[in-house]
């Protein structure tokens, strides 16, 4: 194995063990190399020191937990292997230029300070377009569910398919040319380690037949970062995670308050069909610059 392949495998392993003990001795034992050789190899391949990278990734994971759950700051600190809340706060403030408490309370969510996971497979920056969306009226239905942060990516694909199947079955004989999905999350009000996910399936009023279930939905106006997706349905959630985990930090964008907007173009799909093998559309994130 060449050095890049070794470090590629190690990066994947590190990403799945950030909440586990990762002393240099432990990581070296996993890699099969001496810690001195591993440090040199990691720096040569990635351009970063392995210890600094692990800490930056842990703090980035902790930042997501602060924003999307109501878990006590101390619990988040301990999960990501900081020995006290004070130690965690100092490290967090150094990386994000604000305390964990302030970071959690802010209406907007700045990606500055987030450390994307290193990928050695090439450029992971999805092309972005900046668009201004005018306020738009839709007809739709909002549903919600709760899950842990770890369950989010696994559950989102199945839930998205289920919600669309339910909505399109309510009196629609033809699938409209454009489908809108609006989603946002907030910390659960019942369990501090869970989040509540709201997902709205919506269509334009002129495509809603009489009697179809739904209520008026306002598509929020403002500036958005628009990313295009064309691929399998079960790849969309990983695409969204890449946008938040890699693209927004590299672009140094701040997410403002509001819904993420999914826009689908279901050409040739009919009511009652199984999910298409490939879906095409745009994913829009509300931003401020």
Residues 190-245 pLDDT 10s: 888 888 989 999 999 988 776 666 788 999 999 999 999 999 988 898 899 999 99
Per CATH, the number for 129-288 is 3.20.80.10
Q: What is the pLDDT averaged over residues 90-99? A: 97
pLDDT value of residue 153: 67
Mean pLDDT of all residues in 166-178:
77
As a whole number, the mean pLDDT across the chain is 89
Q: How confident is the model at residue 289 (pLDDT cuts 50, 70, 90)?
A: confident
* Tens digit of each residue's pLDDT (9 = 90 or more) over 122-135: 667 899 999 999 99
Six-digit token pair at 1?
């194995």
Question: Do the beta carbons of residue 79 and residue 69 sit within 8 Å?
Answer: no
* Domain residue ranges in the chain: 3-106, 129-288
Would you place residue 162 in the very low, low, confident or very high pLDDT band (cuts 50, 70, 90)?
A: confident
271 compared with 64, residue with greater pLDDT = 64
For residues 231 and 274, the model is more confident at 231
State the architecture of 3-106 in CATH terms: Orthogonal Bundle (1.10)
- Are 3-106 and 129-288 the same fold in CATH? no
Q: Concatenated DSSP letters for 107-126? A: SSEE-TT--PPP-SSS----
Q: Indicate yes or no: pTM above 0.75.
A: yes
Q: What is the pLDDT of residue 17?
A: 94
pLDDT digits (tens, 9 = 90+) for 32-61: 889 999 999 999 999 999 999 999 999 999
> Which range in 33-42, 143-152, 154-163 is most confidently predicted, on average pLDDT?
33-42
Q: What is the pLDDT of residues 98-111, one digit of tens each?
A: 999 999 999 999 99
Helix (H, G, I), strand (E, B) or coil at 70: coil
Is 139 in contact with 214 (CB distance < 8 Å)? yes
The CB-side HSE value for 276 (13 A sphere, CA atoms) comes to 17
Band of pLDDT at residue 182, cut at 50, 70 and 90: very high
Share of the chain above pLDDT 70, in %: 92
Q: Are 237 and 151 in contact (CB under 8 A)?
A: no
Which neighbouring-strand residues pair with 223? 132
91-95, 140-144, 152-156: range with lowest mean pLDDT: 152-156
Give yes or no for residue 272 having a pLDDT over 70: no
Q: What's the confidence (pLDDT) of residue 277? A: 80
pLDDT at 15: 93
Is 71's pLDDT higher than 80? Answer: yes
Instruction: Give which of 111, 106, 114, 101 is closest to 74, Cα–Cα.
Output: 101
């Amino acid at each position: 194995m060449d050095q890049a392949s070794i470090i590629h495998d190690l990066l994947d392993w590190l990403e799945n063990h950030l909440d586990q003990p990762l002393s240099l001795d432990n990581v070296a034992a996993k890699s099969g190399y001496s810690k001195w050789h591993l440090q040199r190899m990691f720096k040569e391949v990635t351009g970063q020191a392995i210890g600094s990278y692990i800490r930056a990734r842990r703090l980035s994971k902790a930042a997501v937990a602060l924003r999307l759950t109501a878990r006590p700051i101390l619990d988040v600190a301990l999960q990501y292997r900081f020995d006290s809340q004070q130690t965690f706060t100092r490290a967090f403030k150094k990386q994000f230029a604000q305390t964990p408490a302030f970071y959690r309370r802010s209406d907007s969510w700045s990606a500055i300070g987030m450390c994307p996971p290193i990928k050695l497979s090439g450029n992971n920056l999805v092309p972005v377009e900046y668009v201004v969306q005018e306020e738009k009226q839709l007809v739709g239905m909002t549903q919600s569910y709760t899950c842990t942060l770890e369950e989010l990516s696994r559950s989102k694909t199945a839930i998205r398919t289920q919600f669309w199947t339910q909505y399109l079955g309510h009196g629609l004989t033809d699938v409209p040319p454009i489908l809108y999905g609006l989603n946002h999350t907030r910390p659960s009000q019942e369990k501090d380690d869970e989040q509540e996910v709201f997902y709205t399936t919506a269509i334009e009023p002129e495509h809603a037949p009489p009697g179809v279930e739904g209520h008026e939905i306002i598509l929020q106006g403002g500036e958005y970062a628009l990313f295009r997706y064309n691929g399998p349905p079960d790849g969309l959630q990983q695409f969204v995670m890449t946008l938040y985990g890699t693209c927004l930090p590299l672009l140094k964008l701040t997410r403002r308050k509001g819904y993420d907007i999914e826009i689908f173009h279901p050409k040739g799909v009919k009511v009652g069909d199984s999910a298409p093998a490939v879906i095409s559309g745009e994913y829009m994130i509300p931003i401020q610059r």
